[in-house]
Amino acid sequence: MKAIAVEREGDRPVVVERERPTLTAGEALVRTLRVGVDGTDHDVIAGTHGSPPGGADHFVLGHEAVGVVEEAGETRFSPGDVVVPTVRRPPGESNEYFERGEPDMAPSGTYHERGILGEHGFMAEYFTSPEEFLVRIPDSIADVGFLVEPLSVAEKAIDLAYASRSSFDWAPESALVLGNGGLGLLTLALLDDAYDYDRLYCLGRRDRPDPTIDIIEDLGATYVDSRETPVDAVAAEHEPMDLVFEATGYAKHAFETIEALAPNGVGALLGVPEPWEFEVDGGRLHRELVLQNKALVGSVNSNVRHFAAAAEALPSLPAEFLDVLVTGVYDLDDFEAAFEDDDTTIKTAVQFSSYEERR
């Protein structure tokens, strides 16, 4: 079967030939429909995040997958079920985090991530997975099922942020999403659709006309240009934010978020920056966190519960939003286009087989 991988010492994805995987006990064989591409994949290709399985001469990419069960084995699934795999796997032996169903809370060294860290990804015509790492989704969202994983990441971060405000009567009205990439825009649409914010904002660094600015404004949110209004000036320029969701990976934003927050507000940090030394007024930020009851939570990955929430939320996101968010779905013949990263590209996917063909 064909797979998309980065070869050892390679700096771009190529098509490789691999054996089709065979079932072991407790697993299902899944025929891949589509696999999305995100900022993390670009980091993996560039070698700045994650690492291939030990000893492998190539690394199969992809962690945002949707597929159809081809062979159900002894699992609870039936052939034809549309499923999405979670990303983390035990690094050999299982551990308490996986046993609790919370591998997203596992510390470094106690997990692999398919397509990112230590285990091949899903960008192949078929993949196998233990049933506990597969989530069934409605057939009606098979085409956009590759958005369930990034949406699950947003669900988890929002869940953690809200949990940190659960000890008092918190009624958030304003939210700011930092980043107009795939994750930022999906989160903005989720906050608009499933939460009760009066005012939403989204930060980027693009000139008009730009498709992401159109998306932001079509969702009824306000575009904030970080070149004109840095994150620590947002409160004065617009308003203090009850929730900030950082999805830029720009390290200064983690600290500037504290200044953007309203009293009692919470910032969820999701970016994965490389080391970068810069000056901050630590005393001021510390004081601000304490005296204004502000919180910052870091959030990574997501578990089955968040995937289920995402699968429930996805069908109610506006179809017009999804149409413009997904700027390209490419067959294997043209897969390179899915990895292009310019201002016309928002969310892309590689298609391994079409859902219609399968029925």
Number of helical H runs and strand E runs in the chain? 11, 19
What does each C-alpha distance from 246 to 29, 87, 159 come to in angstroms? 36, 21, 14
Within residues 27-86, the interface with Zn ion by CB under 5 A covers 38, 40
If contact means CB under 5 to 8 A according to the sort of partner, which of Zn ion, ligand BGC, ligand NAP, none does residue 113 touch?
A: ligand BGC
Q: Does 104 bind Zn ion (CB under 5 A)?
A: no
188 touches 216 (CB < 8 A): yes
What does the block give as tokens for 245?
A: 């969701």
CB of 308 to ligand BGC, least distance (A): 16
Binding marks (x or -) toward ligand NAP, 215..254, rule CB under 6 A?
Answer: -----------x--------------------xxxx----
CB-wise, 154 or 191, nearer to ligand BGC?
Answer: 154
CB-wise, 172 or 249, nearer to ligand BGC?
Answer: 249
- Look at the alpha carbons of 349, 179, 50, 298 in this order and tell me if their dihedral is positive or negative: negative
What does the block give as tokens for 105?
A: 């809370």
**Cα radius of gyration (the chain):** 20
70 touches 78 (CB < 8 A): no
Burial (CB < 10 A; 0-12, 13-18, 19+), residue 192, is middle
CB of 320 to ligand BGC, least distance (A): 25
CB of 253 to ligand BGC, least distance (A): 17
Q: Does 181 bind ligand NAP (CB under 6 A)?
A: yes
Binding residues vs ligand BGC (CB under 6 A) = 38, 40, 63, 87, 113, 116, 149, 153, 272, 300-301
CB-wise, 182 or 204, nearer to Zn ion?
Answer: 182
CA angle at 306 for the pair 345 and 262, rounded to the nearest 5°: 75
Q: Does 328 bind ligand NAP (CB under 6 A)?
A: no
Residues forming contacts to ligand NAP in the complex (CB under 6 A) are 38-40, 153, 179-184, 203-206, 226, 247-250, 270-272, 299-301
